[in-house]
Structure 1
């Protein structure tokens, strides 16, 4: 190849930014272009603290101008609309972008097909959703708060349940602090009888015991039917709800439909163990956009995206040198389920599963990680 390689990265979340760092660490000369609607990182793990006032919008939005300048990255401000020429041309609302190699890290899309889903707030849609939860809680004097999540029936890994446990326990803790808990019922609902089973059997036992200890009611094992303005309806019955927090399963971005990229049964990009999109040349996927080989408990979280980004960067650059890609990524789950001032550590890999009981130490560890992670981009 004559001249520096042209590498395009789609997205501005954890997977995309980690990919940029990993590529630049290995190649100082590559011409990297980042395509995203804005040059901002929204630190979504921190939105669990917005309802209680521990975080604000300004604290969780990091402008990326300095980071992109340091990394010598060109930013195309636009949305992707499709691909051409096997991925070598990306069509965007700001024009076309040509590349020699492409990394797709544009995240997932929530499946909003459940009737009445407009009556629920989907927390991980972003900061505005968490602010809506904060404002609704402030306005309520009592009632029933329903918190739940569901998956993609065709994609076991395309679910994000961890944050919903954090919102559940966080709201419970917040109401206690405010001296209002006795005026509210909290109900956790899930179509599975073992919610959070991707965290491991020990975690499921712990989470259900924690709900019982906190006086949180459960409605488990029944498929969702619909939401109404004041209730949750399942195949196993219904219950009233004055505020519904619900995380649906995930699928691929809408623009994937305008491409010929290989798709998984659940609508994500079908990847191999080297993060390549199957059947494509020099097209890689990182994070929530992809469906990767491995255990069905493989998490959709920033830590996993970081691991995939390192493998994708190494393989992409090897491919540009005419070498076969060989780097793979380890599969592990690492999270702290937080409840405002204390948290539970959950770790899982192929060999073992660890759950460490609730501690203030883990809450502060989560806050320390946030600070250290964001320093890379400030």
Structure 2
């Protein structure tokens, strides 16, 4: 067991949690992690970039110390494919052999709508949030449209929560700056009940908050296209000098160069134990995978962490020849933040809790960030 070679693809939440979980259970295995950079980009914090509460430097965590502490060999490269049933990883900097493989390379956003280059997709990374910040500084007034859509073939491949945070955070920011009256904010979605994956109570709360803040809504109409000054839908058009839009998600482009099984939405098929069916000792966790479970199962860091723990336990069991069928809890846990206050939403298959806006939850979100990043600093 001490010489088993484990390769992890990705340095996001799922990949790094897999490292921690493996090391918790086994100090001897060889772990190689493949990613373009030895950095964690803490994307939950980008909602605070437009207001200046966070900067790029706050959210980019160098991982050299973490890799040294955990005895991980870092392989700086892009993944380009797999061979030999997953035992050989092809990268832009050579090939790597393994005895077990964890795929945690995240997802990518569907960019199929005509004119989507006119929209900023915030969860693509820190640079996108900086573009929103810089554009807001340039604007003296006008129309801003915020929206999200899903992957019609993959109900869970959606990231709507951060969109509400950008919407409410920018509304609050403009009020603080004394500029809110010069702007018209509109929220749009092809869904009639946006946020329904957070639960019915959350939909009522979020739409009520939009009404309270004088944010217009354009809901239930299929999106057609974007251009430099508007969003076009089957229900009309929304004027917008800035469009902040989160499309649905699909799998990485490199998946196409493999024979890995795919879901209808393009993600990697996974079972309840995070195993990839038909592939020996190949596991997936986080946004890359399509997992059995309720259609509201979130694509978020907390879920990636839970899946990484199950994948690590089953991987080590499989290497040792011991029956292991760890599953992960399906749990949505988020604080929808608005710069100074936050609303707590918690959902499991048994219950759905919403605790209304409070300064306490804003500070809890900031405290969680500090505690989480301490593991990697």
TM-score w.r.t. structure 1 length?
Answer: 0.99
Match of 1:263 in 2: 262
Match of 2:54 in 1: 55
Whole-Å separation in 2 of the counterparts to 1:89 and 1:325: 24
Match of 2:325 in 1: 326
SS in 2 for 1:318: helix
Whole-Å separation in 2 of the counterparts to 1:279 and 1:214: 51
SS in 2 for 1:362: helix
Deviation at 1:186, TM superposition (A): 0.3
Task: Report runs of 4+ in structure 1 exceeding 3 Å deviation.
Answer: none
Match of 2:37 in 1: 38
Whole-Å separation in 2 of the counterparts to 1:192 and 1:55: 31
Match of 2:119 in 1: 120
SS in 2 for 1:114: coil
Whole-Å separation in 1 of the counterparts to 2:147 and 2:278: 37
Match of 1:278 in 2: 277
Whole-Å separation in 1 of the counterparts to 2:208 and 2:363: 23
Whole-Å separation in 2 of the counterparts to 1:25 and 1:9: 16
Give CA-to-partner distance per residue, 1:300-357, whole Å, 9 cap, x none. Answer: 0000000001000000000001123310001010000000010000000011100000
Deviation at 1:278, TM superposition (A): 1.3
1:244 is the counterpart of 2:251: no
SS in 2 for 1:245: strand
1:142 is the counterpart of 2:110: no
SS in 2 for 1:145: strand
Deviation at 1:4, TM superposition (A): 1.1
Match of 2:295 in 1: 296
Whole-Å separation in 2 of the counterparts to 1:278 and 1:254: 20
Match of 1:152 in 2: 151
C-alpha contact 2:18 2:309 (8 A) present in aligned 1: yes
Give CA-to-partner distance per residue, 1:216-260, whole Å, 9 cap, x none. Answer: 000000000000110000011112101000000000000000000
Whole-Å separation in 2 of the counterparts to 1:335 and 1:99: 36
Whole-Å separation in 2 of the counterparts to 1:60 and 1:305: 19
SS in 2 for 1:152: coil
In structure 2, the gaps of 5 or more residues are none
Give CA-to-partner distance per residue, 1:184-237, whole Å, 9 cap, x none. Answer: 000000000000110000000000000000000000000000001100000111
Match of 2:171 in 1: 172
Whole-Å separation in 1 of the counterparts to 2:297 and 2:248: 14
SS in 2 for 1:277: coil
Task: Please show how residues 62-73 of structure 1 align to structure 2 within 5 Å.
Answer: 62-73=61-72
Whole-Å separation in 1 of the counterparts to 2:57 and 2:19: 24
Whole-Å separation in 2 of the counterparts to 1:67 and 1:228: 44
Whole-Å separation in 1 of the counterparts to 2:171 and 2:308: 36
Match of 1:191 in 2: 190
SS in 2 for 1:51: coil
Match of 1:347 in 2: 346
In structure 1, the gaps of 5 or more residues are none
Task: Please show how residues 101-112 of structure 1 align to structure 2 within 5 Å.
Answer: 101-112=100-111
Match of 1:229 in 2: 228
Whole-Å separation in 2 of the counterparts to 1:203 and 1:240: 27
